[in-house]
Amino acid sequence: MNDRVLILGGSSDIGLALIERLDGRETVVAQYFGSRERLAPIEKDRLFVERCDLSDSADVDALIARFRDAHGTPRAVVQLAGSKLRLERFAKWDQDHVSRDLQIQLLSTARVLSAFAPAMAKSPVPTQVVLVLSTVLRDPTPKFMSMYTVVKSAQLGLMRAVAAEYAGTSLRVHGVSPGMVATRFLSAIPEKAVEMTAAQAPNGRLLQPDEVAAVIATLLATPHPSGIEVDVPYLGDG
């Protein structure tokens, strides 16, 4: 088993922070779609970048084939990719938006895991899958986030299903559920909504990408029982 980590959404703010956290200890294959330039400042010998449209099944299959040919089986898979957050009433349900986000966050992830999980489960050393979920999955469920909540609920189901399927093997499957994080992911929602969420946090601010990346890096570095869901609602300063 090699030391390759496949990051879906590697050009995201959390993805960039995670790559910096790994700091050359792993060979990272970072998937991106439209933001190749964001990875350029941190490119190093052990970083490979792969363009892939996660909403396109054929493109995902091609990514899997390229990874397998070049790197074999990953030691870890991290899923960070997703469409930008939108705040809308349920009556304005957008079927196209939900379908695309399900393809990006759920179906492409399932496709990747179905390709690699059997070999990861047979590894002589622990292997990991980490999905970034959300605290919207905890009570109380927030209003005006129905599409996002449905997609994240589906991701949680995938996490639990894969964890159950491979229980007792080398493959450990985890979910990290952060509160609102200050990333480009929020650029489609009103600034006032972001400010209100930050004001409601215990320390009066949103999570930073590196704080979530630190939790993911810890899960990747330390074997844990499969099926763990880690809440990261808000963290203190310092």
| Distance, CA of 108 to CA of 89 (rounded, Å) | 27
What integer pLDDT is reported at residue 118 of this predicted model?
97
pLDDT over 90 at 144, yes or no: no
Q: Is the pTM of this model over 0.85?
A: yes
SS3 44: coil
Q: What is the pLDDT of residues 192-237, one digit of tens each?
A: 776 777 677 767 787 899 999 999 999 998 877 776 667 775 443 3
What integer pLDDT is reported at residue 9 of this predicted model?
96
Q: How confident is the model at residue 4 (pLDDT cuts 50, 70, 90)?
A: very high
What is the rounded average pLDDT for all residues in the chain? 87
What integer pLDDT is reported at residue 228 of this predicted model?
65
| Distance, CA of 66 to CA of 76 (rounded, Å) | 16
| Distance, CA of 28 to CA of 24 (rounded, Å) | 8
CATH number of 4-232, picked from 3.90.1720.10, 3.30.497.10, 3.40.50.720, 3.30.930.10: 3.40.50.720
Q: What is the pLDDT of residues 122-141, one digit of tens each?
A: 999 999 999 999 888 887 88
Query: For residue 107, what is the DSSP state?
Result: I
| Distance, CA of 190 to CA of 206 (rounded, Å) | 15
